[in-house]
Structure 1
Amino acid sequence: MRIDLQLFMICTLFGLVSSARTGGPAKITYNKATLRAAPTDKKRFNVILRGSTVSKRDQVANFASNGESEKLHSTYLIGNNFAGYTATLSADTINLVSNQDEVAYIEEDMDITIHVYQKFAPWGLGRLNKEKNDRELNVYDVDYKVSETGKGVTVYLIDSGIRATHMDFEGRVADQVAFVSSDKSVDERGHGTGVAGVVGGKRTGVAKDATLKSIKVIDNTSGSVSTVLKGIQWVMDDYVNGGKKPSIVNMSVGLESSHSNSMDDSVAAMISSGLQVIVAAGNTGIDACNISPSSVSDSVVVGAISNDSDKYSKFSNMGSCITLSAPGELILRPISSDDVSFIPSSGTSVAAPIVTGLVALYLEKNPTATPAQIKQYLIDTSKAAATSTPKDTTNLIAQYVSI
């Protein structure tokens, strides 16, 4: 088998040349499309290393900085339990790498999706999906009163970017980074801007003085597990370098119907390092335990309810991995095409940031709370009020309680 110089450098870095696996190759997960492709096609893979290899962070950093290999796209060192890299590998190389003791598993990189559900499509389009027209009119008449504003709390939004100039944010978008090729300050999809508004918009948000940081991992043309891993790496570095100030992560992105060990493990590494992660359950009406990252047990996974008698939203994913639910239909949020407009949206993507905002309020008064304490606070203060909940799905609904 021919091994080029760049591959040899990868193998040497992680001890792959001299450390053959004795118990069989590491598990390799392929996309379904790849199984139909020619076996010689080179694909992008996420190679995740065993915990003991985290001590090699210096070698990983040095190799990443020398820029000598176009096959190695990025490396990850998240917390104390997650290390790996993304590289374009041939079938021969994959077999070589999978047989090394240092490798825990290998996954082909997968595209991610944003968990939004379009309630207000033009009625002609919506009518195509219905056997009959049974839409009901929804009316809003509510008050919102809280004692905290999220001041001093950082919210990391791993999403599609934020239109920071929108009037709803009032200059509180502190950082914007991008791990896709498009401009970090542009939100082509409008998703991240809406999510950020629900968390911390002055007019539409729960935590109206929280500091917002935008980590762009998806745009109109790209977004994958590896871009999420890069985003998580940036979040962890920023959190640690900033002195681990009170912070919370919102992930209203993920895989639509697939599972990724590398995404789940990196999210779990964030949580074990002190950052709780609020995850949108997804909008395909399936078991949330079967997709990533809502299958991460220590995260807070949020389903959606409607404004009709607290009914569990039909589109919302369900099952035992749901921690609690929050309003997720007809939620007003800012748009990314101008600085003054708002529209209503539905989906677990807008339910999750409501809970993220509640956590920001809680952290303002409890800045040293651990991820476990944050999750327990949300459970203890929620109300068992959801109706029409699917089998094995909690009926807890997020509730504001000042503690």
Structure 2
Amino acid sequence: MDSAACMGQAIQSKFIVQWEDGRFTVESGKDAESFKKEFIEPKLNDIRQVEFDRRIQVESTKVSTSATVSDSWGLSMIKANSAYTQGIYGEGVKVAVVDAYVDVSHPQLANRIAINTGEIPNNGIDDDGNGVVDDYYGASFVSVPSSTTIPSPHGSHVAGIIAADSNYGPVKGVAPRAKIIPAQFIANDGGGSLGDAILALQYAAKRGAKIINASWGGAPCVASLRNAFKVLESQGILVIVASGNDARDIDVYPEFPASFNLSNQITVAASDFTDFMTSWSNSGFKFVHVAAPGEQILSTVPGASSMYMDGTSMAAPFVSGTAALLWSAKPTATAQQIKAAIEQSVDVTSGHEFKVKTRGRINIQKALQVLGQLVP
């Protein structure tokens, strides 16, 4: 176990509580001793586990100045068109972007946001009683103050790769009729907390997400995050995780949540336009499952704009979009069947196999064929 991965600065006055019914809450207290006496002891029979909340700093992605290839090279590489020619666009599938801010007013994203119809926007009331006020377009769980007011491009970029509507701009989403649930826990400066991440994951599940995109790492190896992923596993939700950008073997030097290796999880490395692994992508024959395009990726950013970015954060949403296409083709499939179809259909090219469990990069055309065999 890499001790660095277990770090993450404890927030001494905030505690992640997992209750016996599986729910998570984040509670405040003066310090651990008084929290134990005043909060835990009176409710001991209802509490499964308590841990300090911890700060996490999300990995930075790189902005590419320009592309030397076609703007849609990634879609071509993974044969996305094979789905569209069959009328498969991701319809009816909700994908949660548990990440930084998603610009719901972006012309290429506005029609792709999963509206919470039980909520009346901006009235200051929790109309649907889900514990979140005004979550008409999604919700924010950010509790860590940010050093900047400029919105991070990260969440919007991820959302656009999954589902951008190409009728309103240059970006083509992998699953252009899937719906996005924005669940923000990362502040504008890339900081966040573990407790906020867990609340965002829990919210995504409540809103009916079939797929959760987690393009972040750097979380400490604490039981509560793993337990939150296990709850999602029991709910049949597929979680797509970025492997990280440190050029490390995460089998040897674990990164979380990438190294959890649960049955409902696909961890993704980044490939480039020559179909090789990028030099900076994390890898691992055990904990990283597939590769997907992650370099010079054009997608949406706040302010009705678009930009090129590099990172496994970009590769993960290619897989989330792929999963949305597969699920819209076979709505009765389980998370494990979608995962199996994606893993069993990768392209493995002799001479440049990827350092991932399957040795290959995703292929939508073949994945649809495999899914058809798994789910007749």
Deviation at residue 155 of structure 1 after TM alignment: 1.0
Q: Is the 8 A contact 2:294 2:311 kept in 1?
A: yes
CA RMSD of aligned residues (A): 3.2
Matched with 1:296 is 260
Alignment of 1:272 onto 2:234: yes
Cα deviation code 1:246-270 (max 9, x no counterpart): 72111112326x3232112201211
Residue 325 of structure 1 is aligned with which of 291, 298, 310?
A: 291
> Is the 1:31–1:108 contact (alpha carbons within 8 Å) kept by the matching residues of 2?
no
| Alignment partner, residue 120 of structure 2 | none
| Mapped contact 1:281–1:303 kept (Cα < 8 A) | yes
Comparing both chains, which one has the higher relative contact order based on Cα–Cα distances under 8 Å and sequence gaps of 6 or more?
2
- Superposed displacement of residue 349, structure 1: 0.6
Please report how far the alpha carbon of residue 93 of structure 1 lies from its aligned counterpart in structure 2 after TM superposition.
4.3
CA distance in structure 1 between the partners assigned to 2:161 and 2:15 by the alignment:
34
Deviations 1:363-392 (A, max 9, x none): 111112111111111112212238666767
Partner amino acid, structure 2, of 1:224: S
1:216 pairs with 2:180: no
**DSSP-derived class of the 1:110 partner:** strand
Structure 2 Cα separation of the partners of residues 187 and 154 of structure 1: 28
CA distance in 2, matches of 1:32, 1:357: 31
Q: Percent identity?
A: 26
Q: Is the contact between residue 159 and residue 215 of structure 1 (CA under 8 Å) also seen in structure 2?
A: yes
Classify the secondary structure of the residue corresponding to 2:343: helix
Counterpart selection for 2:281 from 272, 297, 316: 316
Q: State the partner residue of 2:174.
A: 206
Q: Distance in 2 between matches of 1:157 and 1:227?
A: 14
What per-residue deviation string (whole Å, max 9, x for no partner) do you get for residues 327-354 of structure 1?
1100111111x21x22111101110000
- After superposition, residues 80-159 of structure 1 pair within 5 angstroms as 83=24, 85-88=26-29, 90-93=31-34, 106-120=50-64, 138-140=68-70, 142=73, 143=76, 145=81, 146=83, 147=86, 148-159=88-99
Which structure 2 residues correspond to residues 214-363 of structure 1 after superposition, within 5 A?
Answer: 214-220=182-188, 222-239=191-208, 247-255=210-218, 258-288=220-250, 290-297=254-261, 298=263, 299-308=265-274, 310-319=275-284, 320-336=286-302, 338-339=303-304, 341-363=305-327
Cα distance in 1 between the residues matched to 2:355 and 2:94: 36
* Alignment CA distance shift 1:391-1:306 (3 Å): closer
Q: Distance in 2 between matches of 1:396 and 1:229?
A: 31
CA 1:173/1:187 → structure 2, altered by over 3 Å: closer, same or farther?
farther
Q: Residue 151 of structure 2 is aligned with which of 185, 188, 191? A: 188
| Cα deviation digits, residues 100-123 of structure 1 (max 9, x gap) | 78766543322234444215379x
Question: Could you tell me the TM-score, scaled by structure 2's length?
Answer: 0.73
**In the aligned structure 1, how far is the partner of 2:57 from the partner of 2:331?**
32
Q: Equivalences for 1:54-69 in 2 at 5 Å?
A: 54=21
Distance in 2, matches of 1:386 and 1:304, equals: 18
In structure 1, what is the equivalent of residue 112 of structure 2?
Answer: 172
The answer to whether the 8 Å contact 2:113/2:180 transfers is yes
- The residue identity in structure 2 corresponding to 1:173 is I
Letter paired with 1:315: W
Contact 1:249 1:276 (8 Å CA) reproduced: yes
Give the direction of change, closer, same or farther, for the CA distance of 1:88–1:294 in structure 2 (3 Å limit): farther
Q: Which SS does the other structure have where 2:181 is aligned?
A: strand
Question: Could you tell me how far apart the structure 2 residues matched to 1:187 and 1:238 are?
Answer: 28
Q: Distance in 1 between matches of 2:278 and 2:95?
A: 26
Gaps spanning 5+ residues in structure 1: where? 1-28, 35-40, 55-76, 123-136, 240-245
Q: 2-side partners of 1:322 and 1:105: how far apart?
A: 29
Alignment pair present for 1:372 and 2:336? yes
TM-score scaled by structure 1?
Answer: 0.69
Q: After superposition, what is the alpha-carbon deviation per residue over 1:33-82, rounded to whole angstroms, capped at 9, x for unaligned?
A: 56xxxxxx943232445xxx22xxxxxxxxxxxxxxxxxxxxxx44xxxx
Cα distance change of structure 1 residues 391 and 94 upon mapping to structure 2, 3 Å threshold: farther
Does the 8 A contact of 2:99 with 2:214 survive in 1? yes
- The CA distance in 1 between the partners of 2:336 and 2:359, in whole Å, is 20
CA contact under 8 A between 2:99 and 2:154: conserved in structure 1?
Answer: yes
1: distance between equivalents of 2:8 and 2:109? Answer: 41
**How many residues are matched?**
313
The separation in 2 between residues aligned to 1:176 and 1:374, in whole angstroms, is 25
Measure the CA separation in 2 of the matches of 1:191 and 1:33: 23
- Structure 2: runs of 5 or more not aligned: 115-136, 167-171
**Equivalent residue letter for 2:280:** F
CA deviations 1:295-316 (Å, max 9, x no partner) are 22221111111112x2212211
Larger radius of gyration: 1
Cα pair 1:381 1:398 within 8 Å, conserved? yes
